[in-house]
Structure 1
């Protein structure tokens, strides 16, 4: 046990500072281990914070300018009622918010997970402490969720400045975006935790899953305007379900309440199943 005395401004010596005993430190780790690991991940993220901001916020804002301001002049000139009586900018803003979060999930829940198990094996150091594999997985998820919320809040602030979220409930789209990111990212995290060797699996995920979901999820036009042959992609897409919820809270998009509830249930079920599978994979990979 170590101790040191610190002299106060009045010259008196306060009680010496003492380190926690190993038993106390271990007990705290067992209780709060997920948050301890989340803090470590967030500190790492802080080192490339500007990259996160430019990728998570700059990219969708660029889309917002290009599509909502540039293309909108052509789209709205030829079709005034296709977007539910709102401007094209208002229509696509929630979709870009959700899409940006899902793309962030595709990055945060793939290579960093492989890095933790195979390349730098950063998961195994904390596992040598009282932290369990489930806590390490939970800490990773907590940290990424914080990133979802921060980047979505920054993006929403830009959207609000453009007047593209007229509803007073528009801020709820920040939470919807985080849920959509988790509903896509947690199953992907479970898959990444099961991979032993990188053979281009994540590149395939980006090309053949993420991009089709982005393009065919009613992002730029209503889903029912797409051919039936690709419309089914939207029906199983977290981006579409999240976008529809985002539109409901952003500008009062009119749809049946049961359908709104179905969007929410779909995202929650995917997130819960993904979390269960992730916990199982981490425990199998690292040992309980």
Structure 2
């Protein structure tokens, strides 16, 4: 007697057939790459970052939080006791929090738009594989910028949440300081990306950038004290620094720092022009290195 389980009908009922996987045709793949290539490369860059995500979190969030506790919580108790009106009637914590938020994005941009960019051309040469595919040079540039922008948004949002938890952002518009900080990071990072793409040999150029650009900008852009308290021969550092423009907008948004409307427009326009100029220069430099 035949076991009913072994009959062909029973086997067909108990077996689930899955359709075979089929790859897209080369034409379809090329069309998708041309349409979504920037997002494909952004996904690649984000997957690479995911491999060392805990290091990124510790560096991107841990450093500014340590500054926040050291300067805004520890030192602030002494500053507030002895200089209650020195910062426009707000606590020292509220005064420096937007500056630390903007400086965190600039330091992250200085990290991501230097050695990783040169790595794509010289050491691991990771740009040449995507460039051999239907992806265009502009999509490689845009994809990497998208990935770093998403990282800056996430990092800034986490940091702002910590700042808000300490009551350092009483204004309902404080959340917009996250967007300003991201723009601030791009305003510094994208011109640096264009420069990094032009570097043929590492001879300490990026160390000089950190020492003679990032550090003076961090110290002399009104981060820890109002810019107008500096000697006039040092104030120009803040005037040309993206950090000062981003900090002024951040303070305006987080606690209502008085900034005239025309000056706020100048701050925003300055950051936007630097970011757009850096993006265009980066595309031009990548095209020269990789070819069309």
TM-score, structure 2 length as denominator? 0.94
**Number of equivalences:** 280
The answer for the alignment partner of 2:201 in structure 1 is: 197
Q: Tell me how far apart the structure 1 counterparts of residues 104 and 276 of structure 2 sit (CA, whole Å).
A: 21
The yes-or-no answer on 1:104 pairing with 2:111 is no
Unaligned runs of 5+ in 2: 1-12
Deviations 1:61-109 (A, max 9, x none): 0000011111112211221111111100000000000001000000000
Q: Tell me how far apart the structure 2 counterparts of residues 48 and 84 of structure 1 sit (CA, whole Å).
A: 41
Deviations 1:235-280 (A, max 9, x none): 0000000001111111111111111111000000000000000000
The answer for the alignment partner of 2:73 in structure 1 is: 69
**Displaced runs of 4 or more, over 6 A:** none
The answer for the alignment partner of 1:235 in structure 2 is: 239
The yes-or-no answer on 1:244 pairing with 2:248 is yes
Q: How does 1:1-288 map to 2 (within 5 A)?
A: 13=17, 15-288=19-292
Q: Tell me how far apart the structure 2 counterparts of residues 267 and 182 of structure 1 sit (CA, whole Å).
A: 8
Cα offset, 1:37, TM superposition: 0.5
TM-score, structure 1 length as denominator? 0.95
Q: Tell me how far apart the structure 1 counterparts of residues 159 and 248 of structure 2 sit (CA, whole Å).
A: 18
Unaligned runs of 5+ in 1: 1-8
Q: Tell me how far apart the structure 2 counterparts of residues 70 and 83 of structure 1 sit (CA, whole Å).
A: 17
SS at match of 2:122: helix
Q: Tell me how far apart the structure 2 counterparts of residues 175 and 195 of structure 1 sit (CA, whole Å).
A: 30
Cα offset, 1:16, TM superposition: 4.1
Q: Tell me how far apart the structure 1 counterparts of residues 159 and 56 of structure 2 sit (CA, whole Å).
A: 12
Q: Tell me how far apart the structure 2 counterparts of residues 136 and 10 of structure 1 sit (CA, whole Å).
A: 48
Q: Tell me how far apart the structure 2 counterparts of residues 108 and 17 of structure 1 sit (CA, whole Å).
A: 37
Cα offset, 1:10, TM superposition: 8.0
The answer for the alignment partner of 1:4 in structure 2 is: none
Instruction: Tell me which structure has the larger Cα radius of gyration.
Output: 2
Q: Tell me how far apart the structure 1 counterparts of residues 14 and 182 of structure 2 sit (CA, whole Å).
A: 49
